[in-house]
Structure 1
């Protein structure tokens, strides 16, 4: 009788699921988990803050998960914009002042070029507009805007990411590099719920389901600083180059982490 009941339950479970289970158990933890809200902060609680801009290069080994063909981070952002779960903002500035319409974002993903098309019979050329969709693999870098601040109420140094912008390289007709620009900005605090429902590839443990929101909150990515808040609103590349720029980026990082220790030392 127990064996018969077990077989009945197995048949019913198989009937409910239309496709075979690709794994040992059905994973529901990530889909049922909720985003942990940021703690409430008062203006008087902030003793110090500094804004920095970072660049994530997905070609680095630690960032290869951003280029996962099954769950490319750029595709996750685009799907969120298409569904209305994520709002995009104009790349004209990073203050999130000018929202972009969904169609405007989609237009940014289409490249149009005028090319001659030859008639196979008369060999006469006809100019036609050719459209090509942006390959997600072309987005290799992301710009981050974040704020480091010291909470005197709890005596801790914290960081909050404010925005993320995918970067695209512009080339000339010969395929030479011209410049790099952001496609759009997304306001990260409003994206957390969407990112928490999408899993990134966690190397080393296929069972531990971590979301893109976990990746950013746990800061499991490699990056370097390209700008800090300054009176001239300059980027590091505007006045430094090569090794000097990397050393300055590292000094800014060190100054931020030393700030908390200096408070308790002096």
Structure 2
């Protein structure tokens, strides 16, 4: 009887230990943004991939419908304090809501004077000529007043429709227990597009990076706003979380994990070569999965 009780206690302790280990492993994986973390013991193959998503594309328009743009849903959640933004997709350093607002703002460029106005005698410096400088009287004589401190140009936030560039960081994982490949999204980044007219810098600018697990929580909590628009049937709109789960969008690969952490266009020496390399990388991953089933 004592031996039986000792064996039962040992078995229970072992089960609790395994359960605690699995829970700890899942919690650690969840901290990097994964919504459904896969235990390391079940992973046979993993490759980290970065994908660009242009929300203006026809296949992506349902995530970018008027008034319910995914960029609007995300940024409104940040302003309400429901969503934490990070500085990069390593998801370690955070932004404050005010910093996110600054990242998605631009200053109106000063028009200045035309060449004709300058030739006519006008000047940008109010104290440098008699045209722009206000006058004041000193001992019966009118003299130019001291120049006023320059006023900074007004700042405006980009419209949600202007934020049409996203980037996904994901792990492509082959789960040997379930014998299938998974797209395990870790982070979603909103970017100010380089092609946007108001972006005078001409380069992509990061607004903020977000844990995918946090985004799923926000999308589920706001079903009336986080909508993937079904143009064929208004009764069958989907939640944005379901759209990601079902992969109802188009994307292209811009980076595959490598020792130098370089993007494809940097590795192959140009944007056009990067596009060709992106197509090749996608084909290689499909072929790798096919070979797993062939052998």
TM-score if structure 2 supplies the norm length?
0.68
2:284 is aligned with 1:255:
yes
In structure 2, distance between residues paired with 1:242 and 1:71: 31
- TM-superposition CA deviations, 1:212-254 (whole Å, max 9, x none): 1111111111110000001111101113334432221112112
Change (3 A) 1:174 1:110: closer
Instruction: Confirm or deny: 8 A CA contact 2:193 2:199 kept in the other structure.
Output: no
Moved more, 130-139 or 41-50: 130-139
Instruction: Confirm or deny: 8 A CA contact 2:186 2:212 kept in the other structure.
Output: yes
Larger Rg: 2
Aligned partner (choices 34, 39, 44) of residue 41 of structure 2? 44
Aligned partner (choices 149, 165, 172) of residue 189 of structure 2? 165
Instruction: Confirm or deny: 8 A CA contact 1:55 1:144 kept in the other structure.
Output: yes
The runs of 5 or more residues in structure 1 that have no matched partner are 1-36
In structure 2, distance between residues paired with 1:40 and 1:78: 26
Change (3 A) 1:39 1:177: closer
2:261 is aligned with 1:233:
yes
In structure 2, distance between residues paired with 1:187 and 1:171: 26
SS at the partner of 1:213?
helix
SS at the partner of 1:222?
coil
- Partner residue, 2:171: 147
1:1-266 superposed matches below 5 A: 41-90=38-87, 93-113=88-108, 115=110, 123-124=132-133, 127-129=150-152, 130-169=154-193, 178-196=202-220, 197=223, 198-240=226-268, 241-266=270-295
Instruction: Confirm or deny: 8 A CA contact 1:145 1:163 kept in the other structure.
Output: yes
- TM-superposition CA deviations, 1:79-119 (whole Å, max 9, x none): 111222211001xx320010111221122233235748999
Please report how far the alpha carbon of residue 59 of structure 1 lies from its aligned counterpart in structure 2 after TM superposition: 2.1
In structure 2, distance between residues paired with 1:77 and 1:103: 15
Please report how far the alpha carbon of residue 44 of structure 1 lies from its aligned counterpart in structure 2 after TM superposition: 1.0
- Partner residue, 1:3: none
In structure 1, distance between residues paired with 2:84 and 2:274: 33
- Partner residue, 1:31: none
In structure 2, distance between residues paired with 1:222 and 1:171: 19
In structure 2, distance between residues paired with 1:97 and 1:52: 19
RMSD between aligned alpha carbons? 2.9
Instruction: Confirm or deny: 8 A CA contact 2:255 2:264 kept in the other structure.
Output: yes
Change (3 A) 1:144 1:243: same
In structure 2, distance between residues paired with 1:164 and 1:245: 21
Change (3 A) 1:210 1:238: same
Give the number of aligned pairs.
226
In structure 2, distance between residues paired with 1:139 and 1:160: 24
Instruction: Confirm or deny: 8 A CA contact 1:237 1:245 kept in the other structure.
Output: yes
TM-score if structure 1 supplies the norm length?
0.75
The runs of 5 or more residues in structure 2 that have no matched partner are 1-33, 113-123, 134-146
